[in-house]
Homo-oligomer: A and B are copies of this chain.
């Protein structure tokens, strides 16, 4: 699939530049909406070169998606190291997850774009990437939470939904950034600070929400 590069000297690495440019454009415009013209311009190369490295637009998309998915899932798993306690595990997950998405926003957008137009391709590639690594990154946290429930460290609660809520809270602000900016001015002024606040907020809210109910205080009721 990949033409041989000269063994010595790899100045701009054209293939990688195409790959990155394609990821960016596909993430914004989607599989059909993306134009090879735009990808070539973004990579600073000629349109014909796209066909030299990846024969067709379809194959380029497949390559970007498959390789991107695999790398994304692997990297995410590695950045979500297990911790001893529940609290540390939760904190590590939220901080690691947001940091990782921050560094791979285009891939996150690309996957969401696939979700919008059906998700068939995504499900297939995600399943493959998961199988190759045998394990969904989030499930590690779910196991931790499950053990914590049995140990009485956190209250009984639907963990699948809890995990989905955590992921939603971490991920959504990235994919919906333009909307978030409308009523969260800090996200436009100082995105890094916004993310720091966001991480702290999510952990804070979750820890409080998962804490076992004290005796005498009905669950699900405010003071």
Contacts of A204 in B (CB 8 A): 157, 219-220
A15 within 8 Å of B (CB atoms): no
A113 within 8 Å of B (CB atoms): yes
Q: Are B112 and A116 in contact, with the CB atoms below 8 A?
A: yes
Chain A residues 75 to 130 lying within 8 A of chain B, measured CB to CB, are 86-87, 109, 111-120, 122-123, 126-127, 130
Q: Are A202 and B165 in contact, with the CB atoms below 8 A?
A: yes
Q: Bound complex: CA of A123 vs CA of B162, how far in Å?
A: 31
Contacts of A182 in B (CB 8 A): 123, 126-127, 130, 136
A16 within 8 Å of B (CB atoms): no
Contacts of A213 in B (CB 8 A): 208
Q: Are B205 and A165 in contact, with the CB atoms below 8 A?
A: yes
Query: Which of A109, A154, A157, A211: most chain B Cβ within 10 A?
Result: A211
Contacts of A33 in B (CB 8 A): 29-34, 117
A168 within 8 Å of B (CB atoms): yes
Number of copies: 2
Expressed in whole angstroms, the minimum distance between the Cβ of A140 and any Cβ of chain B is 12
Q: Are A175 and B115 in contact, with the CB atoms below 8 A?
A: yes
Q: Bound complex: CA of A30 vs CA of B183, how far in Å?
A: 24
Q: Are B28 and A161 in contact, with the CB atoms below 8 A?
A: no
Q: Are B209 and A205 in contact, with the CB atoms below 8 A?
A: yes
A63 within 8 Å of B (CB atoms): no
Q: Are B208 and A209 in contact, with the CB atoms below 8 A?
A: yes
- State which of B30, B126, B211 has its C-beta within 8 Å of the C-beta of A29: B30
Q: Are A153 and B222 in contact, with the CB atoms below 8 A?
A: yes
A193 within 8 Å of B (CB atoms): no
Expressed in whole angstroms, the minimum distance between the Cβ of A180 and any Cβ of chain B is 7
A164 within 8 Å of B (CB atoms): yes
Chain A residues 171 to 223 lying within 8 A of chain B, measured CB to CB, are 171-173, 175-184, 197-198, 201-214, 217, 219-223
Expressed in whole angstroms, the minimum distance between the Cβ of A179 and any Cβ of chain B is 6
| Beyond A32-B35, A208-B209, 7 extra complex contacts between A and B, CB < 8 Å | A30-B113, A114-B178, A115-B176, A119-B177, A119-B179, A153-B222, A165-B165
